[in-house]
Amino acid sequence: MKRFSGAILLAALIDASSAYAQEGTWSNVRITSITVYTSEQFGPSGLMYIYFSEASSGTPSCANTNPTIAVIDLTSAGGAIAASLAQSIMLAGGGGGLVTAFGVGNCNFVPGIETLGKLTLVGS
C-alpha cells in the first residue's frame, strides 16, 4: 500500500508542477542593469526591472517587444528575495555571474514586460 500511495503522490506532484509552466527563459545570461521605481512619478513603484544580456527564448506574445527585460514584484516576499539576489549578482563584479531565469508567461504588472518567476545563479 505504501508503494501505491507514494506513486499517487508523485503523480500528483508532477501534475501540479505542470500547472506552473514557464514561458520566457533566459539561459546562462548576465544581468546587465537593474532599475527600481520607488515613486509613481517615474514609473510603477514596487517593481524591479532586470535587464539581461540576451533575449529570452519562449517569450510570451505580450513581451515580444521587450525580450531582454523582466519585472519582479517587490511587494511579495519571494519577489523581494529574488530582487536581493539579482542585486547581489549584479554587484558581484561588472555584470555579475551567469544566471538562468524563467518568466511566468504573462505581463500582468507591466504591459510588454514578462513577470519573472524564478532566478537561479549559475556561476561565473
Please name which of 5, 25, 4, 30 lies closest in space to residue 99, comparing C-alpha atoms.
30
Residue reference for cell 542593469: 33
Domain count, the chain: 1
Give counts: helices (H), strands (E), the chain. Answer: 2, 5
Would residue 16 count as lying in a domain?
A: no
Q: What is the pLDDT of residues 8-40, one digit of tens each?
A: 333 333 333 334 455 889 998 888 899 988 777
Would residue 84 count as lying in a domain?
A: yes
Give the sign of the dihedral formed by CA 87, CA 103, CA 109, CA 32. positive
* CA 61 – CA 75 distance, rounded (Å): 25
Q: Which domain holds residue 31?
A: 22-123
* CA 77 – CA 81 distance, rounded (Å): 6
- pLDDT reported for residue 69: 95
Would residue 30 count as lying in a domain?
A: yes
Phi, psi of 121 (to 5 degrees): -80, 125
- Could you tell me the CATH number of the domain that includes residue 28? 2.40.50
CB burial string 5-41: b at 16+ within 10 A, e below: eeeeeeeeeeeeeeeeebbbebeebbbeebeeeeeee
C-alpha Rg value of the chain to the nearest Å: 17
Reported pTM: 0.74
Would residue 42 count as lying in a domain?
A: yes
User: Which residues sit opposite 58 in a β-bridge?
Assistant: none
- pLDDT reported for residue 11: 33
* CA 68 – CA 65 distance, rounded (Å): 9
Would residue 115 count as lying in a domain?
A: yes
Mean pLDDT over 102-113 rounds to 92
